[in-house]
Chains A and B, each alone.
Chain A
Amino acid sequence: MVETGRSSGTLEELILQGMLYGHILRSPVAAGTLVRINTPKLSSAYTLITAHDIPGKPFLDFYASHMPILAGTQVHYIGEPVALLVGPDRTKLEELARATEIIAEEDEALFECSIFNSDRILAKKTVQDKGIDSFFKGDAVLTEATYSTGIQEHWYPECHGALASYSYDKMLIRTATQWPFHVRQAVASVLGVSVEDILVEPTELGSHLDGKLWYPSLIACLAGLATYICKKPVKILLSRLEDFQFSPKRPASQIALRTATGTDGELIAIEGRPIVNMGASGPFAEEFISRLSIGALGAYRSSHRRIEGYAVQSNIPPAGPFAGFGFSQANFAIESHIWSITDRLQQNPLEWRKKNALCKGDTLLQGIPVRDPVPSEALLDTVAAMSDFNRKWSSYELISRYHRSLHQFPLDKTLRGIGISLGYQGNGLLFEGSDKGTFGIEVTLEKDGTLLIKSSAIVSDEETKSIWATIAGEILGISSSQIAFAPIRTDEVPDSGPSCLSRNTTIITKLIQRACEAIRKQRFRDPLPITVKRQFRPTKAQKDGLPFSMLSWGAAVVEVEIEPITLKARARGIWLMVDGGKILSEQRARISINLSCIHALQWATGNGLSYTEGIISPDSMDYYSIQLQDNPPPVYLEFLWNDNEQPKGIGELPFTLIPGAFAQAVSQAIGKPIRKLPILPSDIERELRSREEQA
């Protein structure tokens, strides 16, 4: 496989002659009116840029909201960019920033979302079922609870940043982004120029966990604005602390669930009220609330469903996706909820899931059909066998119930539990307006027999390209060494849409396949070079809001032990069974899933990162680790091999499956439901003490 040109490398490495640096000045208040920015006297080498200097549209446009590039008069969160200081020396910039006074009249700020008025609703999802209330009466077993999840930090390998410079008559933006054409559109809009005048060249992305979908566009706009004004290259690179405090996080959520089940365990009706805190101007609010609402029903069938979901605005920094758009939060809620159901009914949670799992022909929320067979029984039975689930669950259940009968759990002994979960990952589209258009790729078979693939799809590892090269090579009968990928630059490759929701695996792979098949048909008929473009056109259903093009499935078991004394919960083992369709690279799939397992566990057990009075305290960074504090549990992973199916994205499955299974295991160990993430030792202690007090 040959690259026809180097990628830009990392943003930190890029130094241009005459380059200036940008330092963002930020709002000190969570809500209010910006009065004045008092900087010390600036020499001619230093420039202060404010919202008044923006020549074009002063905000980033999203479907349900727009986000100011620089706050004009109103500020909406602590840390909101209010101005940009630009100059040649970063140390001097820091000094100037420290000496700058930003004066704002503070208004009342709202940080929480448990109570809100309609003004704060960014997006809503309502699915009604008129007759549902009748099912919550009578002999049905009712279970009702609210589940909450905390924020999570991405900790990218490289902080957010962008470098803007002029390249002849165009502006060149270099930034690590999952969506180069979004950056192009945003910068063009802010500068009031045509998109043709902006070139975007992505730099090395690394592991992004979906955090570099839209935020790079904001930073790119600031860098572009600075270059436009100063007429010199400008680089903005957030410090780690800035990134930690102010860049988008996985949003906090609260999901209220109420279910009615028959005494035999059949899920009759389910009602959910998910609320997600999107922060200020939360982009993709619709996306979030849609997936949260769908996910709140889990992988289970019920005839009667009612959802009322809200994406709510607040005065904290805007939230963003983290390995998906809210599915993980929702699945934690439903999987933990099932623990309460099966605990009440004293049913084996494995059997309950097999009984109630979705099948082909069932529908998800809003009539979204499940078109393909659902291998729930195979997944559940296999993962249960791998983990010896039934035997362990029965033993732990016996012990737990015994302790419950005494109203006391021995805190000087290790408590153990085991949990199981079933779920799916929806691969598909963002259905905010900017993604409902067509997007595609271009493939050319050159005269010399080499193949050039052009796409703006960003991959975080070279193996994806190897896979595409292998597919192309197999179809056209050429070796991988003759296949090249055009370096990504927005004037040289077509718009392939955002690289998220496993589109690289699902959609882009398919487009490459189709393009190569078309070339194969033409190649001995038409003269070379042959160029084929293939586009993905959303179906009407997708345009109308169907979020998934396909589902991948998984089941997980997590065994937990709770350390005596500290009451820290740690995983003893994780077992996963995944149906990802055709697995293009087993090695890569294993690496990806194993890593995601650790990240999912860290979310479930790690430090409780949170906004306090609208800001993440800088000290929090000292105590935050993306690694587990304890030794890692072994992860046992198997795939349901199915080469006849399309390849599907599976990277989000651990986030969907593990936190819920972990929480159930802890619930079994302590005999009380766990309803929040992360699960801290103090939470476990509180639940155990409340049991004793109730007794």
Chain B
Amino acid sequence: MTIPFILNGEDVVAQCSVDKRLVDILRDNFKLAGTRADCRSGLCGACSVIFNGRLVPSCLIPAFKVKDGEVITIEGFMQTLEYQDIISGFNQTGFRPDQFCATSIILGIEALLSQNLRPEPQEIYTAFTDIQCRNLDPNQLVPMIKSISEIRQRRLYGRSA
């Protein structure tokens, strides 16, 4: 099947069978290693991508669904100012995601803050449900995301709440 879609802002075409997973299309066809194929069940977060504006597990997206859609992987997201906010927040709070979990955590933060720039602690815990990362201390999440939120608010509005 020929699958045209937008990948990290560029028009691309993938040639693959309809039953191939999006995560494998990204890794095999486009050599984008930032999205990892781990549990293949949508339960660990390692394969997170932004698909048609939403954070999804790319391991559960078959090729035919990708047609004419838009995919942003961590590689694409790293070119954005939003990514810089997140990295600044990490540096400020001393949080260092390991390279295995970085994608799921960074895109998870982006998905949360793009919905709600000032999330409550409970929303933060809910957003990080099923991120299977041994280096993620949930107690670090709230101060870290608060810090990123403030950085982003200052960038967007010149001030934080």
What residues of chain A have their CB less than 8 Å away from a CB belonging to chain B?
Answer: 10, 12-13, 155-159, 204, 206-207, 209, 239-241, 587, 591, 594-595, 598-599, 621-622, 625-628, 631-632, 634-635
> Chain A at the B interface: mostly helix, strand, loop or mixed?
loop
Instruction: Given A594-B139, A632-B139, verify A599-B122 contact (CB < 8 Å).
Output: no
Which chain B residues border A625 with CB–CB below 8 Å? 130, 132
Q: How far, in angstroms, from A594 to B131 measured CA to CA in the complex?
A: 17
Q: Is the CB of B134 within 8 A of A595?
A: yes
Give residues 118-132 of B contacting A (CB, 8 Å): 121-122, 125, 128-132
Q: Is the CB of B33 within 8 A of A12?
A: yes
Which chain A residues border B114 with CB–CB below 8 Å? none
Contact of A157 among B94, B98, B138 (CB under 8 A): B98
Contact of B122 among A12, A207, A591, A631 (CB under 8 A): A631
Q: How far, in angstroms, from A371 to B101 measured CA to CA in the complex?
A: 42
Q: Is the CB of A240 within 8 A of B44?
A: yes
Q: Is the CB of B94 within 8 A of A206?
A: no
Q: Is the CB of B40 within 8 A of A240?
A: yes
Q: Does B135 sit at the interface, judged by CB under 8 A?
A: yes
The total of chain B residues at the interface (CB under 8 A) is: 29
Q: Does B99 sit at the interface, judged by CB under 8 A?
A: yes
CB-based nearest B residue for A593: B137
Q: Does B136 sit at the interface, judged by CB under 8 A?
A: yes
Q: Is the CB of B137 within 8 A of A627?
A: no
Q: Does B133 sit at the interface, judged by CB under 8 A?
A: yes
Q: Is the CB of B138 within 8 A of A631?
A: yes
Which chain B residues border A204 with CB–CB below 8 Å? 99-100
Q: Does B38 sit at the interface, judged by CB under 8 A?
A: yes
Q: Does B92 sit at the interface, judged by CB under 8 A?
A: no
Q: How far is the CB of A667 from chain B (nearest CB, A)?
A: 26
Q: Does B41 sit at the interface, judged by CB under 8 A?
A: yes
Instruction: Given A13-B33, A627-B129, verify A207-B39 contact (CB < 8 Å).
Output: no
Q: How far, in angstroms, from A209 to B134 measured CA to CA in the complex?
A: 9
Q: How far, in angstroms, from A632 to B128 measured CA to CA in the complex?
A: 12
Q: How far is the CB of A110 from chain B (nearest CB, A)?
A: 31
Q: How far, in angstroms, from A587 to B138 measured CA to CA in the complex?
A: 16
Which chain B residues border A595 with CB–CB below 8 Å? 134-135, 137
Q: How far, in angstroms, from A446 to B98 measured CA to CA in the complex?
A: 33
Q: How far, in angstroms, from A333 to B33 measured CA to CA in the complex?
A: 44
Q: How far, in angstroms, from A209 to B135 measured CA to CA in the complex?
A: 11
Q: How far is the CB of A596 from chain B (nearest CB, A)?
A: 10
Which chain B residues border A598 with CB–CB below 8 Å? 137-139
What residues of chain B have their CB less than 8 Å away from a CB belonging to chain A?
Answer: 33, 36, 38-41, 43-44, 94, 98-101, 121-122, 125, 128-140
Q: Is the CB of B138 within 8 A of A628?
A: yes
Q: How far, in angstroms, from A143 to B11 measured CA to CA in the complex?
A: 73
Q: Is the CB of A626 within 8 A of B138?
A: no
Instruction: Given A631-B122, A631-B125, A632-B138, verify A157-B39 contact (CB < 8 Å).
Output: no
Q: Is the CB of B131 within 8 A of A627?
A: yes
Q: How far is the CB of A672 from chain B (nearest CB, A)?
A: 30
Q: Is the CB of B134 within 8 A of A599?
A: yes
Instruction: Given A209-B134, A632-B139, verify A621-B100 contact (CB < 8 Å).
Output: no
Which chain A residues border B41 with CB–CB below 8 Å? 621-622
Q: How far is the CB of B137 from chain A (nearest CB, A)?
A: 5
Q: How far, in angstroms, from A595 to B136 measured CA to CA in the complex?
A: 7
Q: A240-B39, A240-B40, A599-B134 are in contact. List 4 more A-B contacts (CB 8 A).
A: A206-B98, A206-B99, A627-B136, A631-B125
Contact of A622 among B43, B133, B135, B139 (CB under 8 A): B43
Q: Is the CB of B138 within 8 A of A591?
A: no
Q: Is the CB of B36 within 8 A of A12?
A: yes
Closest 3 CB pairs of A and B: A157-B100, A207-B134, A632-B138
CB-based nearest A residue for B33: A13
Q: How far is the CB of B23 from chain A (nearest CB, A)?
A: 12
Q: How far, in angstroms, from A142 to B139 measured CA to CA in the complex?
A: 42
Q: How far, in angstroms, from A239 to B40 measured CA to CA in the complex?
A: 9
Total A-B residue pairs with C-beta atoms closer than 8 Å?
Answer: 74
Instruction: Given A12-B33, A240-B38, verify A158-B100 contact (CB < 8 Å).
Output: yes
Most buried by A among B44, B94, B122, B131: B44
Q: How far is the CB of B49 from chain A (nearest CB, A)?
A: 17
Q: Is the CB of B133 within 8 A of A621?
A: no
Q: How far is the CB of A156 from chain B (nearest CB, A)?
A: 8
Q: How far is the CB of B86 from chain A (nearest CB, A)?
A: 19
Which chain A residues border B40 with CB–CB below 8 Å? 239-241
Q: How far, in angstroms, from A206 to B96 measured CA to CA in the complex?
A: 12
Q: Is the CB of A634 within 8 A of B139?
A: yes
Q: Is the CB of A10 within 8 A of B100?
A: yes
CB-based nearest B residue for A630: B125
Contact of A155 among B98, B125, B128, B132 (CB under 8 A): B132
Which chain A residues border B132 with CB–CB below 8 Å? 155, 625-627
Most buried by A among B39, B94, B98: B39
Q: Is the CB of B137 within 8 A of A594?
A: yes
Q: How far is the CB of B109 from chain A (nearest CB, A)?
A: 16
CB-based nearest B residue for A635: B139
Q: How far is the CB of A466 from chain B (nearest CB, A)?
A: 12
Contact of B98 among A159, A207, A635 (CB under 8 A): A207
Q: How far, in angstroms, from A515 to B14 measured CA to CA in the complex?
A: 56
Q: How far, in angstroms, from A594 to B33 measured CA to CA in the complex?
A: 30
Which chain B residues border A155 with CB–CB below 8 Å? 132, 134
Instruction: Given A627-B130, A631-B125, verify A10-B99 contact (CB < 8 Å).
Output: yes
Q: Is the CB of B130 within 8 A of A591?
A: no
Q: Is the CB of B33 within 8 A of A207?
A: no
Which chain B residues border A594 with CB–CB below 8 Å? 137, 139-140
Which chain B residues border A587 with CB–CB below 8 Å? 94
Q: How far, in angstroms, from A598 to B98 measured CA to CA in the complex?
A: 17
Q: How far, in angstroms, from A40 to B89 measured CA to CA in the complex?
A: 54
Instruction: Given A622-B43, A627-B130, verify A591-B99 contact (CB < 8 Å).
Output: no
Q: How far, in angstroms, from A560 to B41 measured CA to CA in the complex?
A: 33
Which chain A residues border B43 with CB–CB below 8 Å? 621-622
Q: How far, in angstroms, from A626 to B100 measured CA to CA in the complex?
A: 15
Which chain B residues border A241 with CB–CB below 8 Å? 39-40
Q: How far is the CB of B151 from chain A (nearest CB, A)?
A: 21
Q: Is the CB of B101 within 8 A of A157?
A: yes
Q: How far is the CB of B8 from chain A (nearest CB, A)?
A: 19
Q: How far is the CB of A418 from chain B (nearest CB, A)?
A: 20
Q: Is the CB of B134 within 8 A of A157?
A: yes
Q: How far, in angstroms, from A13 to B99 measured CA to CA in the complex?
A: 12
Which chain B residues border A207 with CB–CB below 8 Å? 98, 134-135
CB-based nearest B residue for A460: B98
Q: How far is the CB of B13 from chain A (nearest CB, A)?
A: 20
Which chain A residues border B130 with CB–CB below 8 Å? 625, 627
Q: How far, in angstroms, from A130 to B43 measured CA to CA in the complex?
A: 55
Instruction: Given A157-B101, A632-B139, A635-B139, verify A626-B39 contact (CB < 8 Å).
Output: no
Q: How far, in angstroms, from A349 to B158 measured CA to CA in the complex?
A: 55
Q: How far, in angstroms, from A635 to B139 measured CA to CA in the complex?
A: 8
